[in-house]
Each structure stands twice: as structure tokens, then as C-alpha cells.
Structure 1
Amino acid sequence: MTLILICLLIATVMPILAKAPLAVAQNKQQGGYDNRHPRAQQNALVGFGARAKAAHENCFEALIMFTPGVLTVIALQLVGPIAQYLCIAFILARIAYLFCYWFDVHLVRSICWGIGFCCSIGLIVLALF
């Protein structure tokens, strides 16, 4: 179960870690990081900054899909190898997804998103059978 909880922890802090490239992009804008109106500044970003914002926001969306599966597997005591592999694959896919988004590798990014999504659904399906 420890490995699954570590994956949940990583997925939980991933949106915060993914904020770093976004903050760098905001800081590079004229006037630097606008801490009074960061959301408005983020909405004005283009290129890398816009992709960093989208990657950051998508981390929250992925977390919302991943968490129910993890909690279901834990609650039903199905923390075997399949659940662990699904959790590890989710984390690896999400890390690859971030890099693909930041560096505009859009087709691979979509594949990584699909893998992460399937892992999240896979955890719930594992609990059903």
C-alpha cells in the first residue's frame, strides 16, 4: 500500500510542482510576476507560458480522476501488483505529459494523457471485478 500512497502523494503535489514553469513564464513578462493579479497575467501568456498554464491546470483535472480509483483500491484492500503498476504508470505518464506540454510535443502528449486516463479508469475497473 505504501507505493500506492506515494503515487497519490506525487499526484497531489504535481500541480504545485507544475506551477514552477508557469511562474517562470510569468516572471519573464514585462513587469515580472504580478502577484496582485496572477490569473489575469496567466491568461495573457502565449507560447510556452500558455502551455505551462494549461499543463498546470490539467494536473488538477488528472488528480480528480486518479484519486477516486486509488481510494477505492485502498478501501477494498486491492493494493496488489496490478494496482501498483497502474499507479506507477499513471505517475510516469503524467510526468511525460508535462514535459510534452511544455515543449509542444502535442501528439505524444495526447498519448500520455490517454495512458494516465486509462490507468485512472483501470483502478476503478479493478475494484469492480
Structure 2
Amino acid sequence: MTIAELCIFASVILYLLTIAPVKWIGAGQYDNARPRDPAFYQSGIRERALGAHQNGIEAFPFFAAAVLLAEFRAAPQNLINELAMLFLIVRTAYVLTYVGNRPALRSILWVLGFAITVAIFFLPLLRNYLPI
């Protein structure tokens, strides 16, 4: 298993861990029988954590597909690994800025994470021009 493939798994864990602390902290108000109750997510940090969680779910398929495509098409594995780790770092910072209510920085980090995923996706096209 490659480092990039482990980053795919780590990105799933990241979006799960984004919402879990909010549910745990609000244990007295959180009703597991109604996990999607909009009333629970109406306050500031809960609402932002839910937004970060949902965005993680949205970002995951393209990232996973990009990593697997790059590996299947024999792009340089060291670059795939490095970009996948960078994506994970950026996404972690994204979650922190989302929950911490820093919208401008959050948007910059989202664009950067998307650009990293696009770079991974197109690595197979560049393999003839990159040092291996």
C-alpha cells in the first residue's frame, strides 16, 4: 500500500473526525436517534463543523479518483505521495479554518486543495517531462 493510498483513508478519517467532537461535546443535546436534526447544527461551531464535514465528503471522490488514476497510469509515485500528503495537510488546515470561522483563509485553502487534486489527476500526462 502506498503513502498516497493511506492518504485516501486518512481523508475519510479527517471528515469523520470533523463532526464527531461536536456531537460528543453536545452530548446532552445531541440525539443519536435523530443524527441529522437541523436544530442541533444551528449554532456557530456546530454549523461550521457540519459544513466542513460535508465539504470533506464532497472533496473525497475527486481526490481518491485522482490518486488511483495517477497510480494506475504510472505517474511518478513519489510525486503522487507528496501531493497526497500535501492535500491532507491543506484539508486539515481547511477544517481548522472552517471551524475557527476564518472564511477568507478557508477559501484560499479550498482552492489550494482543489489545485493539488487537479495536479495529481494530470500527473500521468506529465510523466514524460518529470524526473522519475
TM over 0.5: yes
- In the TM superposition, residue 77 of structure 1 has moved relative to its aligned partner by 2.2
More helix, by proportion: 1
Sequence identity percentage = 29
- Partners of 2:74 and 2:39 in 1: CA distance: 42
Higher alpha-carbon deviation: 33-42 or 105-114: 33-42
State the partner residue of 2:105. 108
State the partner residue of 2:80. 83
State the partner residue of 2:42. 45
State the partner residue of 1:2. 2
Q: 1:117 aligns with which of 100, 110, 114?
A: 114
Higher alpha-carbon deviation: 76-85 or 102-111: 76-85
Higher alpha-carbon deviation: 80-89 or 49-58: 80-89
State the partner residue of 2:129. none
- Indicate yes or no: 2:107 matched with 1:74: no
Q: Residues 36 and 51 of structure 1: is their aligned pair in 2 closer, same or farther, counting only changes over 3 Å?
A: same
- In the TM superposition, residue 85 of structure 1 has moved relative to its aligned partner by 2.1
Q: Verify the 8 A CA contact 1:4 1:79 in the aligned structure 2.
A: no
The aligned length equals 126
Q: Verify the 8 A CA contact 2:48 2:99 in the aligned structure 1.
A: yes
- Partners of 1:38 and 1:7 in 2: CA distance: 27
SS at match of 1:18: helix
- Partners of 2:103 and 2:12 in 1: CA distance: 24
Q: Which amino acid aligns with 2:6?
A: I
- Normalised TM-score (structure 1): 0.86
- Normalised TM-score (structure 2): 0.84
Q: Verify the 8 A CA contact 1:26 1:42 in the aligned structure 2.
A: no
Q: Verify the 8 A CA contact 1:34 1:41 in the aligned structure 2.
A: no
- Partners of 1:33 and 1:107 in 2: CA distance: 30
